[in-house]
């Protein structure tokens, strides 16, 4: 029996994507799942950051991640569509990185992911973004993944790192550095 929030069609270990059905443990579904987890982490981080402008940027990024996930889902069975991620989206991330960087002191060492509550969530989200990026890159051996999709994922992790530094700086929190 199906309901409004379940169909039961995935009980066999497969799920539907834009190009047909695929095993739930495939690399394609791994990438889609990582993008979904990243989007959820950004939603949590947005609830904890104090900088209002940053909250708005994070919400816009969530929409971009839906476009990226739909693109990845379209790769199955040659149903590839345009990435939905444009050069403007990548340049937008770069512009935000540059704006935040202007307010920050020069970074000369690695930082320990910590600080304010918002920054800590952004650091965690950055780590999830790196995993999502790796899973998208892992698809390139099997699918013709557009470079813009990979570039966006790469720039997003940089954005999240700088956003964590920015959030800490605005909160008056000093960065902690590892000792070796």
Whose tokens are 């320990």? That residue is 112
25-171 sits in which CATH class? Answer: mainly alpha
Coil, strand, or helix at residue 21? strand
Tell me the pLDDT band of 9, cut-offs 50, 70 and 90.
low
Mean pLDDT of 155-170: 98
Domain boundaries, the chain: 25-171
Angle at 93 between CA 36 and CA 125, to 5 degrees: 40
Distances (CA, A) of 84 to 15, 36, 45, 65, 87: 22, 16, 24, 10, 10
Answer whether residue 63 shows pLDDT above 80: yes
Lowest mean pLDDT across 15-29, 35-49, 99-113: 15-29
pLDDT for res 25: 78
Angle at 67 between CA 76 and CA 28, to 5 degrees: 30
Distances (CA, A) of 158 to 71, 117, 133, 152: 22, 19, 11, 10
Q: Burial code of 104-132, b = ≥16 C-beta within 10 A, e = fewer?
A: eeeeeeebebebbebbbbbbbbbebbbbb
pLDDT in tens, 75-131: 876 665 666 799 999 999 999 999 999 999 999 999 999 999 999 999 999 999 999
Cβ-proximal residues to 180 (8 Å cutoff; 6+ apart), any chain: none
pLDDT in tens, 127-150: 999 999 999 999 999 999 999 999
pLDDT top residue among 42 and 9: 42
| pTM for this prediction | 0.90
pLDDT for res 1: 61
pLDDT top residue among 57 and 22: 57
Beta bridge partners of 20: 17
Cβ-proximal residues to 139 (8 Å cutoff; 6+ apart), any chain: 27, 28, 31, 72, 75, 145
Coil, strand, or helix at residue 3? strand
């Amino acid at each position: 029996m199906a309901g409004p929030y379940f169909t039961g069609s995935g009980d066999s270990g497969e799920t539907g994507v834009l190009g047909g059905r695929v095993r739930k443990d495939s690399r394609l579904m791994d990438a889609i799942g990582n993008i979904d987890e990243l989007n959820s982490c950004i939603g949590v981080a947005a609830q904890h950051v104090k900088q209002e402008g940053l909250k708005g940027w994070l919400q816009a990024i969530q929409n971009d991640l839906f476009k990226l996930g739909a693109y990845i889902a379209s790769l199955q069975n040659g149903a590839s569509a345009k990435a939905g991620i444009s050069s403007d989206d990548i340049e937008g991330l770069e512009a935000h990185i540059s704006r935040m960087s202007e307010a920050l002191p020069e970074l000369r060492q690695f930082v320990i992911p910590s600080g304010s509550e918002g920054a800590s969530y952004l650091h965690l989200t950055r780590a999830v973004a790196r995993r999502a990026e790796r899973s998208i890159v892992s698809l390139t051996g099997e699918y013709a993944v557009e470079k813009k999709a990979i570039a966006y994922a790469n720039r997003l992790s940089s954005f999240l790192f700088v956003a964590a530094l920015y959030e800490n700086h605005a909160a008056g929190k000093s960065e902690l550095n590892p000792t070796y």
